[in-house]
A and B are shown apart, each in its own frame.
Chain A
Amino acid sequence: MGGGFLALLRGDVQAERAIPKRGFTAQLTTVVAGVLSFLAVFVLALSLSASRIAKDWASDLGGATTVQLPADRADDIESVLQLLRNTPGVTEARALTADEEQALLAPWLGANMPVDLLPVPKLIDVTTDETFDAAAVAGQLAVVGATLNDHDGWREPLAEVASRLRTLGWATVALITLALLGLVTLAARLSLTSNTQTIGVLRLVGATDTYIAHAFMRRLMLRAATGAAIGTVIGFLVMRRIATIDSAPEFNVAMPFDGWQALWLVLIPVLSGGAALLATQFAAHRTLREIP
């Protein structure tokens, strides 16, 4: 292209004036770009949250295991500890102190409950590495009546779900982009074919295809970008409203678009405009070849 990308972005206001403004296609482009961006915000939010959750959980995986010894077998705690320390893959095994147990139970029993007097099970914190074979150890522990709480057991599939959600999210963003490209291509075609007389006049006075294409491009780009900006803002506000649970603020940690991620919100309209520009350019040069 002669003018280069910057020239495209700047557009040619003079050229643009040559094309009569017609309402319908224009508004349709703005509205659909808005709707698609609105959806993109949600899908991005889902992806970003899922990413974060998957990462958090995956990094916690391995390492944290708890062994529980029934209150009536409390005397066996030393032999269980011994057993664990001799197990391959265990890097550390440590019985929780009475204070730690009390802290864990406090929410249910109150802070002043003397834990010693209650038949509470003994807890052992076990730190493991990847060679730890949970199933084999669980068998050995069962003999002394102890049970192994392997957090990995339920975390692993959840981390997997989060990672799949993330993949699905990005795939959906790709599909939304494709839909936007399709829409703008159609809008550009429609706009060109409904302006054949204008194009005829421009050709008669020596306009090149590039000039005519530019005349259409800037307007469609601005429309797509405007629609996308509106859709993004509405999407973000609605999402914030949904994701913020006032009664349980601890769940808000999954709130996306914090910090650097907020850049995505700026990128949506910018990328929509860029996509519109490329789609219009493509459609314009093809269509102009078909209009004699």
Chain B
Amino acid sequence: MIDLKNVAFGYGGALLFSRVDLELAPGSFHFLTGPSGAGKTTLLKLCYGALHATEGQVTAFGMAFDAQSRDATAKARRRIGVVHQECSFLDHLTVAENVALPLTVTGRQDLLGNLEDVLRWVGLARQSGQLPPQLSGGERQRAALARAVISGPEVILADEPTGNVDWEMSVQVLRLLADLNAAGKTVLFATHDLALIRHAKGLVQARVLRLNRGKLQQAGADL
């Protein structure tokens, strides 16, 4: 689905990481760990074409991002559901409208029938008419997840979706992502929460990757 080949990236100055190889096979589940500032968010942004690799090549669905037109990148992004670390929303639109945004933006109003189901799935049916600033941290994370999956993307990239929520909520979000993987979606889950990764044992079959000191390595055995 998404392939990184010999990728290096730096924000202008020194390289943040280099010689990164990663293949997200269809239906796979990867955890991405590493200390804060290691470059997890950066790596995810490379995966959906928001950043371009300094060296090497990132391909999504067989097309290299840096060889693509801007429109083609936008279209590739429709096949990737992203849960952003900051969970930004359009604050003047309701939660339901925000969750439906991937459909309205791409003119797939026919899928709007899924909206209620998706909101119920993340437990936000009651909050659907509220504005995003009225949501709690955990509710925001789940709204972001709902928005990421509403259009039925093949790949889910989740950046610390349990970053600022309590343990119960973290487990709930993990379960939602495990559900998606069970339904055949490819998932990349960035988190520094090792306890959560241990908890995932039995829930999903996953590979754990660790980004540290500029290198991406496999951490321990697969779950």
Contact = CB atoms under 8 A, between A and B. Distances in A.
Interface of A: 14-15, 17-18, 20-21, 197-198, 200-211, 289, 292
13 contacts: A18-B93, A20-B91, A20-B92, A197-B88, A201-B89, A203-B77, A205-B77, A205-B101, A205-B105, A206-B78, A208-B74, A289-B70, A292-B50
Contacts of A200: 88
Interface in B89-143: 89-93, 97, 101-102, 104-106
Interface of B: 50-51, 70-71, 74-75, 77-78, 82, 84, 88-93, 97, 101-102, 104-106, 147, 151
A21 B84 CA distance: 24
B75 to A, nearest CB: 7
A206 B106 contact: yes
A17 B92 CA distance: 9
Task: Pick the 8 closest A-B CB pairs, nearest first.
Answer: A206-B78, A205-B102, A208-B74, A207-B105, A206-B77, A20-B92, A208-B71, A205-B101
Nearest to B77: A206
Nearest to A18: B90
Contact of B82 (A204, A208, A209): A204
A209 B104 contact: no
A207 B106 CA distance: 7
Nearest to A209: B70
Contacts of A18: 90, 93, 101, 104-105
B147 A203 contact: no
A205 B50 contact: no
B63 to A, nearest CB: 15
A192 to B, nearest CB: 15
Given A18-B104, A204-B82, A204-B84, 5 more contacts: A20-B92, A205-B77, A205-B78, A208-B71, A210-B71
B93 A206 contact: no
Contacts of B151: 205-206
Contact of A207 (B50, B74, B92, B147): B74
Contacts of A208: 70-71, 74-75
Contacts of A210: 71
A202 B103 CA distance: 11
B77 to A, nearest CB: 4
B79 to A, nearest CB: 8
B74 A203 contact: yes
Nearest to B45: A292
Instruction: Identify which of A18, A198, A205, A292 gathers the most chain B CB atoms within 10 Å of its CB.
Output: A205
Nearest to B70: A209
